């Protein structure tokens, strides 16, 4: 599933062809949304924004298209407006004079009025957004401190969108590794220094992944491996998808297992139980 950084980068690409442009053509695949085609055609798009793992496309007439990619949804941008040659189900397409945006395979799409956004079942429960310009590590620390007495594991807490919006499985595994915390460690069992470090790493790795198109590994190491001819998917992570390979830091083999009911990766040398 795309996580916060991937959705934010998709937002940036969508904004290039949609923001401040009038819609020349729009298509919804779902029958219940087709009546909105006439209401949104020739209307100006005033803003494209990412909220957690959701995308919001706001129109000047007060409507907003909400979409969540879930596991398989993906946006494609076409500067010339041509339909991409992909083997997926088209769910939504929006055309402007700047190009076109196509959403494939997503099933969670709706059109909302402005007053409905605040009560949306996903949007209304989102926690602190990590990829907004004003978010600081101190704010992340304060947010995590509100769960200080919780007995929940860090593996489940960090991926709860009502806690910190945008962290999914790969970011969670990577954040816990660089924080030297085992996935099943409970937040009530870590000290203040560990919590502060966890907050800093949550923000820094999410920002780094956004800025580098998915790299959470140490950047100097990733650059060195890239120069050696290592493929991107093989150098971008510290532990994620590296089962059986040696940890870059201590040499122990990376393990893949279920932690608190969620599949994940960790190094037991760096992240002891």
* CA-closest candidate to residue 153, choices 179, 127, 122, 176: 176
Compute the half-sphere exposure of residue 64: CA atoms within 13 Å on the CB side of its CA: 21
* Local structure of 153: helix, strand or coil: strand
Is 136 inside a domain boundary?
Answer: yes
* CA-closest candidate to residue 202, choices 213, 189, 216: 216
Q: What domain range includes position 100?
A: 4-125
98 with 18: CB under 8 angstroms?
A: yes
Q: What is the CATH number of the domain that holds 221?
A: 1.10.8.50
For residue 69, what pLDDT is reported?
A: 87
Banded model confidence at residue 110, pLDDT cuts 50, 70, 90:
very high
CA angle 180, 231, 201 (to 5 degrees): 25
Residue located via tokens 């620390």: 141
- Span 173-190, pLDDT tens digits: 999 999 999 999 999 999
For residue 205, what pLDDT is reported?
A: 98
Is 85 inside a domain boundary?
Answer: yes
Q: Are residues 121 and 187 in the same domain?
A: no
User: Could you give the CA distance from residue 158 to residue 155 in angstroms, rounded to a whole number?
Assistant: 6
For residue 181, what pLDDT is reported?
A: 98
- In terms of C-beta density within 10 A (0-12 exposed, 13-18 middle, 19 or more buried), how is residue 65 classed? buried
Based on the structure, what is the number of domains in the chain?
Answer: 2
For residue 8, what pLDDT is reported?
A: 94
* CA trace torsion 85, 89, 95, 98 (10° rounding): -40
Is 273 inside a domain boundary?
Answer: no
Residue 1 has pLDDT above 80, yes or no: no
For residue 70, what pLDDT is reported?
A: 84
How many Cβ atoms sit within 10 Å of the Cβ of residue 48?
A: 22
Name the active-site residue from 3, 6, 129, 184: 3
Name the active-site residue from 9, 11, 53, 91: 53
Is 272 inside a domain boundary?
Answer: no
Q: What is the CATH number of the domain that holds 34?
A: 3.20.190.10
Q: What is the DSSP string of 114-152?
A: HHHHTT-TTGGG--EETTSTT--HHHHHHHHHTTTT---
Report the phi/psi class of residue 231: left, alpha or beta, with left for phi > 0 and alpha for psi in -120 to 50. Answer: beta
Q: Are residues 158 and 84 in the same domain?
A: no
Is 271 inside a domain boundary?
Answer: no
CA-CA-CA-CA torsion sign (229, 230, 233, 235): negative
Task: Please confirm, yes or no, whether 252 is among the known catalytic residues.
Answer: no
Q: Are residues 80 and 174 in the same domain?
A: no
For residue 220, what are its two tokens? Answer: 């100097």
Q: Are residues 261 and 147 in the same domain?
A: yes
- Span 65-74, pLDDT tens digits: 999 988 788 9
Mean pLDDT of the chain: 95
Q: Are residues 196 and 233 in the same domain?
A: yes
For residue 72, what pLDDT is reported?
A: 85
Task: Please confirm, yes or no, whether 53 is among the known catalytic residues.
Answer: yes
Residue 160 has pLDDT above 80, yes or no: yes
- Span 213-243, pLDDT tens digits: 999 999 999 999 999 999 999 999 999 999 9
Q: How many helices, marked H, and strands, marked E, lie in the chain?
A: 9, 12
Q: Are residues 179 and 54 in the same domain?
A: no
Task: Please confirm, yes or no, whether 2 is among the known catalytic residues.
Answer: yes
Task: Please confirm, yes or no, whether 3 is among the known catalytic residues.
Answer: yes
Name the active-site residue from 41, 74, 152, 262: 262
Domain end, chosen from 125, 142, 157, is at 125
Domain end, chosen from 105, 125, 145, is at 125
Q: What is the pTM of this model?
A: 0.92
For residue 74, what are its two tokens? Answer: 């993906």
For residue 41, what pLDDT is reported?
A: 97
- Span 114-139, pLDDT tens digits: 999 989 999 999 999 999 989 999 99
């Amino acid at each position: 599933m795309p996580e916060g950084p991937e959705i934010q980068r998709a937002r940036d690409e969508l904004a290039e062809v949609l923001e401040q442009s009038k819609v020349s053509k729009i298509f919804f695949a779902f029958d219940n949304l087709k009546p909105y085609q006439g209401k949104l055609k020739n209307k100006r798009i005033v803003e494209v924004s990412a909220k957690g793992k959701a995308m919001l496309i706001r129109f000047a007439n007060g409507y907003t298209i909400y979409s969540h990619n879930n596991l398989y949804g993906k946006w494609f941008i076409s500067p010339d407006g041509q339909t991409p040659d992909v083997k997926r189900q088209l769910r939504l397409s929006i055309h402007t004079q700047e190009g076109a945006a196509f959403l494939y395979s997503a099933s969670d799409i709706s059109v909302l009025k402005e007053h409905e956004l605040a009560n949306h079942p996903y949007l209304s429960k989102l926690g602190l957004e990590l990829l907004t310009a004003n978010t600081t590590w101190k704010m992340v620390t304060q947010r995590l401190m509100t769960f200080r007495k919780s007995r929940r594991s860090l593996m489940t807490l960090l991926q709860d969108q009502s806690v910190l919006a945008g962290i999914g499985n790969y970011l969670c595994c990577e954040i816990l590794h660089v924080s030297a915390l085992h996935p099943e460690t409970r937040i009530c069992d870590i000290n203040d220094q560990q919590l502060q470090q966890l907050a800093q790493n949550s923000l820094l790795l999410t920002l780094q992944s956004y800025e580098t198109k998915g790299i959470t590994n140490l950047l100097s190491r990733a650059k060195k491996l890239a120069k050696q001819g290592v493929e991107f998917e093989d150098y971008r992570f510290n532990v994620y998808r590296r089962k059986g390979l040696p940890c870059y830091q201590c040499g122990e083999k990376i393990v893949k297992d279920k932690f608190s009911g969620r599949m994940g990766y960790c190094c037991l040398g760096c992240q002891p139980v």
